[in-house]
Amino acid sequence: MKTILCTGDSHTWGQGAAGVLEGFDPPVQAGELRLTDFRCDSYVNLLRRKVEETTGSFSKEWEAPCLTALFEVEYRTPCACIGIGQQAAMSFTGALMRVEYSRAGSPCRFEVEIDGETSARREEPVASGGNDFHILTMRLPDGTHRASFKVTEGELLLYRIETYGGAFCVINAGVGSCPSFRYRERYFEDYVTAVRPDIVLAEAHTINDWIAGAPPWEYVVNLKTLLEDFRNLGAETILMTVSPIAGEQARGGFDYREYVEASRQAARMAGVRICDANRMMELGLAELEEGQSYAWLFEDDWHPNGRGHAIYAELLFQALCQREVFLPDFRLEKMS
């Protein structure tokens, strides 16, 4: 199975797409680490659906209420709670399992067995706050598997499980409110290295680097380093430029458009291809009469709406097609 990893900030996470904020209890916060579900129309979900439709691949999600019923354990908002000695096992088909869990109010030690063999162990200290969620990824032989979660200290709070099978998978590794340098420092190992991606579709974090206040030339260096880290893992990397923004364009003495151009420069310096979504969106906005642009593209000043997410997804799918990523016998067509 080839793994297509979508990295970035809240745009990748899904903010702005219809339905993305529904159902979160407690409500989302800046830098939210709980993953979004597969149902909303974020660009990663749209892209995943098209890739799966094209290649016959498949994915499945288990959210905490479902896991609570499956394992017959306590539900403690927003997680299924597995304690010491409780039986928690499930069967699934695929070649990759991704588990998101929260740290509890006491230290936790647990392991995951796949088909009777220990696949992963984690020792976790006490949670540092409410937004303390972590991801565990396991690559497996393709087939049907049985996973068991065994807690030896404390309790394991499971938020969601994702499984993927077939020729390709598309994984969401977006973290909201996260500039490029923070993504590399805090999230790279668990969100990227553990996946061992074949392809990285890297959304450029531009808005958050602009907000962070480092000048554009520092952003070039930070983003270039991140892109090179992707390539050093052996992943083919495509940089996607970030949408235009509405409202004030200047911050800290620098114009947002300078950062967009800096992202293009970083991609050229790192030797990666560019999927220039910003340029395509700017062309679309240029065709509109004054007063129409906000409703056409924006959910709020800094996030694209459903149309913006659809543009992201369409351009990324076409970029994959142009690279002949999919096998020749798969039918390639534009997303509807």
Burial class of residue 74, CB neighbours in 10 A (0-12, 13-18, 19+): middle
pLDDT > 90? residue 322: no
Which whole-number Å values give the CA distances from 63 to 9, 19, 35, 95, 157, in the listed order? 22, 16, 10, 19, 12
Measured distance CA(227)–CA(204) in Å, rounded: 9
**pLDDT tens per residue across span 184-215:** 999 999 999 999 999 999 999 999 999 999 99
Token pair for residue 122? 């984690």
In this predicted structure, what is the pLDDT of residue 326? 57
Measured distance CA(116)–CA(94) in Å, rounded: 16
Entry pTM: 0.95
% of the chain at pLDDT higher than 90: 89
Measured distance CA(76)–CA(82) in Å, rounded: 10
Q: What is the mean pLDDT of the chain?
A: 94
- Binned at pLDDT 50, 70 and 90, residue 291 comes out as confident
Measured distance CA(328)–CA(166) in Å, rounded: 16
**pLDDT tens per residue across span 223-258:** 999 999 999 999 999 999 999 999 999 998 999 999
**pLDDT tens per residue across span 86-138:** 999 999 999 999 999 998 778 899 999 999 999 999 998 887 777 899 999 99
Measured distance CA(204)–CA(23) in Å, rounded: 28
% of the chain at pLDDT higher than 70: 96
- Binned at pLDDT 50, 70 and 90, residue 336 comes out as very low
